[in-house]
Amino acid sequence: MERRGTPTVTEMQVIPVAGYDSMLMTLSGAHAPFFTRNLVILKDSAGHTGIGEIHGGDYTCESLRACIPLVEGSPIGAYRRVLQSIHRAAKRAAEDDGEGIQTLDISKLKFVVKAEWAIECAMLDLLGQYLELPMCELLGEGKQRDQVETLGYLFYVSDKKRADLPYIDEQSSGDSWFRLRRQEMLTAERMVEQACTLHEKYGFRNFKLKGGVLEGEKEMETVCALKKHFPTGRINIDPNGAWSLREAIDLCKPMEGVLTYIEDPCGPEAGFSSREIMAEFKNAVNLPVATNMIATNWRQFYHSVAQKSVDIVLADPHFWGFEGSVRMAQVLNDWGLTWGSHSNNHFDITLTAFAHVAAAAPGRPTALDTHWIWQDGQNLLKDAPEIKDGFLQVPDKPGMGVTIDMVKVEEANRLYNRLPSHDRNDAEAMQYLIPGWKYDSKKPALVR
């Protein structure tokens, strides 16, 4: 009897790309005018193309290129074996201290993100095309839903004119959201305007505010203003651990009927890890707690659950892998906890990939984060999925179900090659706002 195998990978390309960003504020500072990503494009012997996208930076780009000999020539059906070979060959970077991002040290983000998950995505894309199944059917127990609820990810935005940096301006755009997202928004009134504009364009009913920027009391004023305007909406805030335990309790206790959940309210202090501090927070405040900082691998997850530090794990597939993220969703569902996904600045390839992961997550996931609304209009796909009425539509064609636009990719690659630096640096723009500004995990960005 003739044996038939899956097609083999004939070519692997790694293409670094860049896009334009707003002066978004976080605990780590202000987003630069540009963000970078790395693309993986695989071709197989059946004539198909598979794609993946992951965080930017030279470290991740070089890691991906080092994997090419392990990927080319491999059967797409043996993608797990390929990933194992990458893991066996990998060495821990000398500067990786294993602390992860529990203090939101952006320089350590590249050690939490695993470059090979872009390869996993591209190989699953190829396998889905070969089997004529959407990628979500290959994950976990298969497809659970046709659309995925997403939330409006709200950011305070500083005045780009105060920084001598080439931020994009969209004042001439015919789209009200595109015009607004490049403007200064630092008050509760402006943040409500931001939420209303996003509701009008994408239909969002639920919102998350990125905190760690202003004094905690001012950020809670914004939360209350949002809840007043959207009384049936789920409102959340993520200060990235900026508050002390005492401050977090004082700020959040009065919000028990306002916030739906609180994400990473406090970080390590007084010799105790974030997991221990957040367990104490949960003992004092009757709010579900979410994280993408203290449970970024299985060992951290074990300690987080053992100490009852969290209720919602935002398992970004670029931290956990695509199968790993869905496996986390299965465990959480079985244990009566909640799965969701965090995001970073990304193009629509990641948007599509996250749609498939969330489509395969069992139970009732929390509404997904997505930065894509801040990058909307810079698509690298010819047929990017849309967010309608607050829901991201899951493509139903084989594999990822989308088509890459190589003209747009080449344009984004040229932009990348013009940049003086490819690694994320949120301090540069901040130093225009506050001379000598330095990151401090316990000082909100504009509180100095």
What does the pLDDT profile of the chain (448 residues) look like in tens digits?
444 799 999 999 999 999 999 999 999 999 999 999 999 999 999 999 999 999 999 999 999 999 999 999 999 999 999 999 999 998 888 888 887 898 998 888 999 999 999 999 999 999 999 999 999 999 999 999 999 999 999 999 999 999 999 999 999 999 999 999 999 999 999 999 999 999 999 999 999 999 999 999 999 999 999 999 999 999 999 999 999 999 999 999 999 999 999 999 999 999 999 999 999 999 999 999 999 999 999 999 999 999 999 999 999 999 999 999 999 999 999 999 999 999 999 999 999 999 999 999 999 999 999 999 999 999 999 999 999 999 999 999 999 999 999 999 999 999 999 999 999 999 999 999 999 999 999 999 999 9
Half-sphere exposure of 199 (CA within 13 A, CB side): 14
Token pair in block for residue 315: 């398992």
pLDDT score at 180: 98
Pair 40, 21: CB distance under 8 Å? no
pLDDT score at 4: 74
Distance CA 47, CA 346 (A): 27
Residues carrying an active site annotation: 210, 342
pLDDT score at 124: 98
Q: Kindly indicate whether the domain formed by 137-401 is annotated with CATH number 3.20.20.120.
A: yes
Q: Which residues, in sequence order, are bridge partners of residue 185?
A: 157
9-135+407-418 folds as Enolase-like; domain 1 (3.30.390)
Residue 108 φ/ψ, nearest 5 degrees: -95, -5
Residue whose tokens read 């993220």 = 325
Q: Which letter does DSSP use for residue 300 in this model?
A: H
Question: Domain coordinates of the chain in residue numbers?
Answer: 9-135+407-418, 137-401
Question: Quick one: three-class SS letters along 270-294?
Answer: CCECHHHHHHHHHHHCCCCEEECCC
* DSSP reduced 3-state for 309: coil
Distance CA 402, CA 348 (A): 10
pLDDT score at 126: 98
Residue 105 φ/ψ, nearest 5 degrees: -75, 105
Q: Which letter does DSSP use for residue 421 in this model?
A: -
Distance CA 211, CA 265 (A): 9
Distance CA 138, CA 113 (A): 22
pLDDT score at 1: 40
Tell me the C-alpha to C-alpha distance, in Å, between residue 141 and each of 135, 302, 357, 359: 12, 23, 11, 10
pLDDT score at 2: 46
Residue 387 φ/ψ, nearest 5 degrees: -105, 115
Looking only at the bridges linking them, the beta strands covering 34-44 and 9-20 are: antiparallel
- DSSP assignment of 314-359: E--HHHH-HHHHHHHHHHHHHTT-EEE----S--HHHHHHHHHHHH
